[in-house]
Structure 1
Amino acid sequence: MSIQAAELQKKGIVELTIAMVLSGTIGVFVFESGAQPFTVAFCRCVFGAGALGLYCWVRGFFSDTGFTRKTFLLALLGGVFIVYNWAFLFSAYEKTSISLATVVYHTQPFYVVLLGALVFKEKLTAAKLGWVGVAFVGVVLVTDITSVTVSGSYLLGIGEALLAALLYAFATIVAKQLKGIRPHLIALVQVTAGIFLLLPFVDFSGTASIGGGWAWLAGIGVIHTCVMYVLLYASYQKLPTSLIAVLSFVYPVVAIIVDMSVYGTRIHPLQIVGILLICGASLANSLGTSQRAGRAVSAGKSA
């Protein structure tokens, strides 16, 4: 690796680490805003669209968007999945905890694997199926029926986190069809669409009493949408997939630490085992996928 490439990779590591740390703090912003989950998601779209629109305008991205009618409609479809994924994840925070909802949400790579097999006829190996099984054993342990007073609301929260992960996986599958378009513009289309998609579910009567919560809502839009996405997209261009997979685990780790520090959430032994199973299986699956991609590239170069 050249000195220049090494410096770019170091910069990418810093960018992605900051982005993952920001991701791990979003639960606090959701709770402290005092707004309902769908209202939070709506405000994220409003403030995020404003910040991303300004960023894209300053960078001159509107001069040649690269969108066709088909890709624009696909971006809108991805927006449907993305914004409802946010709403259900925020709702899962309230019903379970930031820690548990985030870890369960981290099963999303396995949905991508399963959907890839269904949609793109990608080969579903025994190893992939094995890691999917390990991850969902982890989900069962995270639920920890023997150690917590399980209510219908709690189980619904686990279900919402799983649903949010599935919606994110659908968005990922759609994104695979949007090659050659700046991801910042795709995100802008999606959050703008989200304003109209979430509007019917917004509790405007509840927003009158949140006061300082508006600052937290603005933070979710500006910090966790615009700034975080800009850092993510910048880092992806500088890092190999394997390193991205490893650094992505900064997100759940920070979420757990923040949840325990700020809200005093306690995680029971079986839940810890479940967290380790989910994160370990996800990492193994991601690293296995990136290594196969690397071998395919090498084979292509030698042919």
Structure 2
Amino acid sequence: MSVTETPAATRDDADQLDAKTQRTAVRERYGRIAAESGSCCDDTASCCGETAAEDTQVSTQHGYSADDLAAVAGDANLNLGCGNPTAIASLDAGDTVLDLGSGGGFDCFLAAREVGPDGHVVGVDMTPEMVETARDNVAANDASNVEFRLGEIEHLPVADASVDVVISNCVVNLSPDKPQVFREAYRVLRPGGRVAISDVVLTADLPTDLRTDPESVAACVAGAATISALESMLTEAGFVHVTIEPKADSDEFIREWDDALDLSEYIVAATIEAERPEAGA
């Protein structure tokens, strides 16, 4: 499938929700998901299957292997993503990794396997219930090199130049201030560090009722930005070697996100990669 951004794939600020409403909708949705025994399914969205086999199929569509799924215990895998950022992160032993919007911690635990005991993984999430769930999963996975912090991805509770790789899985689209997210990612990365993000991107203008619907924002739809907009945000934050690649087969699971509308006509999953320049570059 080829992905072309049409001129309509732009945003009118008057048609967007204010930041407070967006954050409230996101926090409430994911707090509810964390509280409901790790189920991401509700009456308005179908982001996972009704059986274990269907859940596994969704995870496979996102890019996880059977080994990945078997490696993590507890309620860490909530099937809330749209890709597998650890697969594109090229992690090395000893790396420090930061996961933006870490949810139940699934990608953090996968990253922890790659960085080993000398590495460190930090997950940041703004939903207290998700942080509590993720911390419970630390014990279930005996992951002493993983920790979770409560915070917003626009204001990371992480020191300057302390991270080698920033990952994220279908979370940046939820932010009402994406340029600030990328500025924060740049701040916490060491020179030469990189971002490896799985997210959705906008390919055609959404209907107005979706753009202004809090649930649509919280469901990883209405907050998506175009590829060109994301490229500009990353470049303006200081990143180089920016690459955004749509996933041609993501329509298979995006179609399942809404019973009434084929959302694959408007958004597509993509990998987003960029680097902070080396010192002196």
TM exceeds 0.5? no
Structure with the greater alpha carbon radius of gyration = 1
Structure with greater proportional strand content: 2
Higher relative contact order (CA 8 A, sep 6+): 1
| Alignment TM-score, normalising by the size of structure 1 | 0.27
